[in-house]
Chains A and B, each alone.
Chain A
Amino acid sequence: MSDARTRMIARAAREIAPGMVVNLGIGMPTQVVNHLAADYPVCLHTENGMTGVGPVLPPEQADRNLIDAGGAYVSTVAGSAFFDSATSFAMVRSGRLDLTMLGAFEVAANGDLANWKIPGKFSPGVGGGVELAQKARRVVVLTTHLDRAGRSKLKAKCALPITAQACVARIFTDMAVIDVTPDGFALVEVAQGVSPAEICAATDAPLTIPQSPLPSF
Chain B
Amino acid sequence: MKLRDKRCDIAAAVGRIKDGDTVMIGGFGVPGTPFTLIQALVQQDARNLTVIKNDANEPGMGVDHLLRSGQVARLITTHLGLNSHAIGLMNSGAIDVEFNPQGILAERIRAGGSGLGGVLSDIGIGTELAEGKQVVKMQGTTYLVEPALRADVALIHADRADTFGNLTYAATAQNFSPLMAMAAACVIVEAETVVLPGEIAANAVQTAGVFVDHVTQLENLSEEYAVVRR
- Across the interface, do A126 and B103 meet the contact criterion of CB distance under 8 Å? no
Q: CB distance B175 to A49 under 8 Å?
A: yes
Are B107 and A126 interface neighbours, CB within 8 A? Answer: no
**Contact in complex: A66, B171 (CB < 8 Å):** yes
Contact A86 B227 (CB under 8 A): no
A105 to chain B, nearest CB (A): 14
Contact between A49 and B174, CB atoms less than 8 A apart? yes
- Whether B174 pairs with A82 at a CB distance below 8 angstroms is yes
- The answer to whether B102 and A161 touch across the interface, beta carbons within 8 angstroms, is no
B123 on the interface (CB 8 Å rule)? yes
- Interface size of B in residues (CB-CB distance below 8 Å): 54
Output the nearest chain B residue to A91 by Cβ-Cβ distance: B103
Query: Per-residue CB proximity of B100-136 to A under 8 Å, as 1/0?
Result: 1111111101100000000001111111110000000
A83 to B28, alpha carbons, bound, how many Å? 13
The answer, yes or no, to whether A8 is at the interface (CB within 8 Å) is no
**One of B82, B121, B174 near A84 (C-beta < 8 A):** B174
With contact pairs A73-B227, A82-B172, A125-B81 given, residues A164 and B127 touching in the complex (Cβ less than 8 Å): yes
- Is A126 a contact partner of B172 (Cβ separation < 8 A)? no
What chain A residues lie within 8 Å of B107 (beta carbons)? 86, 89
Indicate the member of A47, A62, A85, A126 with the most B CB atoms within 10 Å: A85
Task: Give the A-B contact count at a CB cut-off of 8 A.
Answer: 139
Contacts of B103 in A (CB 8 A): 47, 85-86, 88-90, 92-93, 128, 131
Q: Is B79 an interface residue (CB 8 A)?
A: yes
Closest to B122 in A: A134
Q: Are B124 and A130 within 8 A (Cβ)?
A: yes
Any A CB within 8 A of the CB of B177 = yes
A65 lies within 8 A of B179 (CB): no
Q: How distant is the Cα of A65 from the Cα of B156 in the complex, in angstroms?
A: 14
Interface of A is mostly: loop
Whether B202 sits at the interface, judged by CB under 8 Å, is: no
Known contacts A84-B177, A85-B176, A85-B179: A128-B102 contact under CB 8 Å: yes
Give Cα A134 to B102, complex, Å. 13
In the complex, are the beta carbons of A163 and B80 less than 8 A apart?
A: no
Q: How many residues of A contact B (CB 8 A)?
A: 42
Q: Are A123 and B87 in contact (CB under 8 A)?
A: yes
Q: Which of B145-187 contact A (CB under 8 A)?
A: 159, 169-179
In the complex, which of the residues A65, A89, A124, A127 contacts B172, with contact meaning CB atoms closer than 8 Å? A65
CB of B66 to closest CB in A, whole Å? 18
Q: A59 in the interface, Cβ–Cβ < 8 Å? A: yes
Question: Closest A-chain residue to B157, C-beta based?
Answer: A65
Bound-complex Cα distance A83 to B82 (A): 23
CB of B4 within 8 A of chain A?
no
Contact A89/B175 with A124-B87, A126-B79, A130-B101 known, Cβ cut-off 8 Å: no
Q: Does A180 contact B (CB under 8 A)?
A: no
CB of B210 to closest CB in A, whole Å = 18
Q: Given the interface contacts A67-B31, A85-B28, A85-B175, does A134 sit within 8 Å of B123 by beta carbon?
A: yes
CB pair A64 B126 closer than 8 Å: no
Indicate the member of A124, A134, A161 with the most B CB atoms within 10 Å.
Answer: A124
Whether, in the assembled complex, A216 has its beta carbon less than 8 Å from a beta carbon of chain B, the answer is no
Q: Mark A39-77, 1 if CB is under 8 A from B, else 0.
A: 000000011111000000001001111111101010000
Q: What are the interface flags for A117-139 relative to B under an 8 Å C-beta threshold, 1 for contact and 0 otherwise? A: 00000011111111100110000
Q: What are 11 A-B pairs at a CB distance below 8 A? A: A47-B102, A48-B172, A71-B228, A84-B176, A86-B179, A125-B77, A130-B123, A130-B127, A131-B104, A162-B127, A165-B125
Residues of A with Cβ closer than 8 Å to B? 46-50, 59, 62-69, 71, 73, 82-86, 88-90, 92-93, 123-131, 134-135, 161-165
Given contacts A82-B174, A125-B97, list 16 more A-B pairs with CB under 8 A: A49-B172, A49-B175, A50-B171, A59-B229, A65-B172, A67-B30, A71-B29, A71-B82, A73-B227, A89-B103, A92-B103, A93-B103, A93-B121, A93-B123, A129-B101, A162-B126
